[in-house]
Structure 1
Amino acid sequence: MSKVLNKRNGIIAVLILSLLFPLAFSDNKYVLYIMTLAFIYIIAIYGMNILAGYTGQLSLAHAGFFAIGAYSVGVLTTKAGLNFWLALLLAVLITMGIGFALGIIALRTKEHFFAIYTLIAGYLIYLLIYKWEGLTGGVRGLIGIPIPNAIGPIEFSSSIAMYYLVLFFLLLSIFVTVRIVHSLTGRTYNAIRNSEELAQTLGINTKLNKLVSFVISVSFAGLAGGLYASLVRFIGPEIAGTTMVFTFLMYLIVGGIGTLTGPIIGTMLFVWLEQYLQSFQEHRMLIFGPILTLIVIFYPRGIVGAIQSLRGYFRTRKKESSKSYTTNSESTDMKSREV
């Protein structure tokens, strides 16, 4: 009971801090912008985690789907003149539709072949955005993407309003992820990750479940991309590039792949670390690369996995010490009786 209460108290504390954060930095728009951007990335990483962490399928096209969501909102608002909310909904649906089409083919492959195929698919998305100047603006990108339309009296022209809007979608994404992970669907994904052959023998339709997981994953990316477009208001083809793929992967692996809090910790850590290392932006991969390598070697489940392992270790030691204490006390008691 105490564990549940501690966990619940921790969640409430983090939520309260998130809600109060803009009040502490109301005069610093840059800090609010960086935090809002981090929230958007976290939404995308949660989608990546559902597929890679819980289903065991590493997609390297996630940045491409992020870009599809962003460009869908950009094109639909600037060229088609649609309302932002309708454009965002259509962006998620378009991303899911393209993900469904690519997933049908991609999921015929397994393991590293799947990763290679999705890497190629992601690069093709990048090339399409780069070359299709009439629609995407090519290398110039899209400029002047509007902010979200007002909902009644609520407007989103300020940094604080955008912060709370993205926070709402982040909390919604976390809620959906938790519901999936702790449901029968989540246990099915874990079974596929642990052994696809064994899952098939248990009667699980692995192809269908992997496809559904893939579509759910890209829907998170499409949502994050659409929010990114409205926040930045300018997008270019680089958001679909391999650097973005590596960045997303780094956030997930360092935080903890296959964990619920890993995407938050990994993204927050590196987003703010990049801000403190702005003078080394050109060489940031020389710094982040070794960190990622060491974590992959020594802590494959990232920071959260390492903390969980340490907890398990100390719990085991505590149980062993309590058992030894009980045994020693019993032997002492027996000796005293004999005397």
Structure 2
Amino acid sequence: MQGLKKMRMPLIFLLVALLFPLFTDNQYYIYVVTLAFIYAIAVYGMNLVGGYTGQLSLAHAGFFAIGAYALGLLTVDANVPYWLAFVLALVITTVIGTLVGLIALRTKEHFFAIYTLCVGYIIYLIIYEWDALTGGVRGLIGIESPAAIGPITFDTGISNYYLILVFLVLTVIFMKFLTESIVGRTYVAIRNSEELAQTIGINTMKQKLISFVISTFLAGLAGALYASFVRFIGPDISYTMMTFDFLMYAIVGGFGTLFGPVVGTLLIVILTQSLQFMEDFRMIIFGPLLVLLVIFYPRGIVGGYQMWKMKRAYKKKQRSVDQGSTYEGGD
């Protein structure tokens, strides 16, 4: 009963997400929410390595772009069947992520962040400059939409919406089991004190590498879904500003929380699209709001809500104890 109560809000969100396309015929709204779902998958990767393991990777947009370009090149240039290209894109991203992680994780804290920022920028330059392979500034056009699975086709906005929603739900379920397992607790131990984690026998290098590789896998997954959904990609998706957008979504939703990436991404993406007419003043609006959020809700919206619930439960319990003491004193 307690477990069902905890899952009440996620189940309500899932129900709303399933019914949303049935209550609107505006394809633009469906497009924006689908895009937010894709970004949320990528943010889950950043949240894992940053929020749980304590390693801030600033190359996340680069791995997002690798997944997108791998799928695009395999389907457009090599004529590989879509789902095979999809799997290969994830493998390519994960392999590159492993190689980068083996070197990057020899550094710590801000040195790790600086190193991954440099890696992300190098990925951007490769995509931008390697015109013969990536199309350079022109990008890739005409990327295939997801191929049919039996009788189910994905040639409409609504069908793509539900496909990406399935991937998002699977990502959330995977993250729930991972973060609540002994492996997830190991990541938190490393985040809190790597030296202490080493003294109790945790192979911190191995665990940080696994966390980083899973993070790049999720970034590649989001990138591959993005490429087949938008069907056009350019070097801008690998630019550092994209990484900082992901970071903002994670901070707003709540670093180190299970549902923070979904809440933060949906809120900011929908708000950004609603304020498109004020694009030139975007950072003037979001900058102060982000500063205020960090000051008053350092754990983000979801983290702040969890803290409020814990304090409320504690005060309720304390009142019960005080009342019990009063009755005993009266007797």
Aligned residues with identical type, % of pairs: 60
Deviations 1:223-255 (A, max 9, x none): 000000011111111111121111000000010
Q: Distance in 1 between matches of 2:95 and 2:133?
A: 19
Q: Are 1:158 and 2:156 counterparts?
A: yes
Equivalent residue, structure 2, for 1:275:
273
Q: Distance in 2 between matches of 1:112 and 1:86?
A: 38
TM score, norm. by length of structure 1: 0.95
Q: Give 1:122-271 correspondences, 5 Å limit.
A: 122-271=120-269
Q: Distance in 2 between matches of 1:131 and 1:306?
A: 43
Between structure 1 and structure 2, the one with the greater Rg is: 1
Q: Are 1:18 and 2:17 counterparts?
A: yes
Q: CA deviation at 1:328?
A: 2.5
Bigger Cα displacement from structure 2, 240-249 vs 285-294: 285-294
Number of residues paired by the alignment? 331
TM score, norm. by length of structure 2: 0.97
SS at structure 2 position matched to 1:154: coil
Q: Distance in 1 between matches of 2:84 and 2:249?
A: 30
SS at structure 1 position matched to 2:189: helix
Unaligned runs of 5+ in 2: none
Bigger Cα displacement from structure 2, 304-313 vs 86-95: 304-313
Equivalent residue, structure 1, for 2:39:
41
Q: CA deviation at 1:259?
A: 0.3
Q: Are 1:30 and 2:28 counterparts?
A: yes
SS at structure 1 position matched to 2:7: helix
Deviations 1:179-222 (A, max 9, x none): 11111111111111111111111111111111111000000000
Q: Distance in 1 between matches of 2:16 and 2:203?
A: 42
| Residue identity in the other structure for 1:149 | A
Q: Distance in 2 between matches of 1:19 and 1:34?
A: 15
Q: CA deviation at 1:297?
A: 2.4
Bigger Cα displacement from structure 2, 319-328 vs 159-168: 319-328
Q: CA deviation at 1:305?
A: 1.1
Equivalent residue, structure 2, for 1:74:
72
Q: CA deviation at 1:83?
A: 1.2
Q: Are 1:51 and 2:49 counterparts?
A: yes
Unaligned runs of 5+ in 1: 334-339
Q: CA deviation at 1:8?
A: 3.3
Q: CA deviation at 1:28?
A: 1.4
Q: Distance in 1 between matches of 2:306 and 2:8?
A: 19
| Residue identity in the other structure for 1:21 | F
Q: Distance in 1 between matches of 2:245 and 2:219?
A: 14
Deviations 1:63-92 (A, max 9, x none): 110000011111111111111111111111
Deviations 1:136-168 (A, max 9, x none): 111111111111111121111111110111011
Out of 314, 318, 328, which is 1:316 matched to? 314
Q: Distance in 2 between matches of 1:53 and 1:187?
A: 12
Q: Distance in 2 between matches of 1:72 and 1:198?
A: 40
| Residue identity in the other structure for 1:290 | P
Equivalent residue, structure 2, for 1:60:
58
Out of 117, 120, 124, which is 2:118 matched to? 120
Q: CA deviation at 1:9?
A: 3.5
Bigger Cα displacement from structure 2, 138-147 vs 315-324: 315-324
Equivalent residue, structure 1, for 2:303:
305
Deviations 1:47-70 (A, max 9, x none): 111111111100000011000001
Equivalent residue, structure 1, for 2:107:
109
Q: CA deviation at 1:172?
A: 1.1
Q: Are 1:6 and 2:5 counterparts?
A: yes
Q: Distance in 2 between matches of 1:309 and 1:154?
A: 43
Q: Distance in 2 between matches of 1:9 and 1:270?
A: 23
| Residue identity in the other structure for 2:228 | S
Q: Distance in 1 between matches of 2:74 and 2:62?
A: 18
Q: Distance in 2 between matches of 1:83 and 1:54?
A: 36
Q: CA deviation at 1:16?
A: 2.0
Q: CA deviation at 1:281?
A: 1.2
SS at structure 2 position matched to 1:17: helix
* Structure 1 vs Structure 2 CA RMSD: 1.2
SS at structure 2 position matched to 1:57: coil
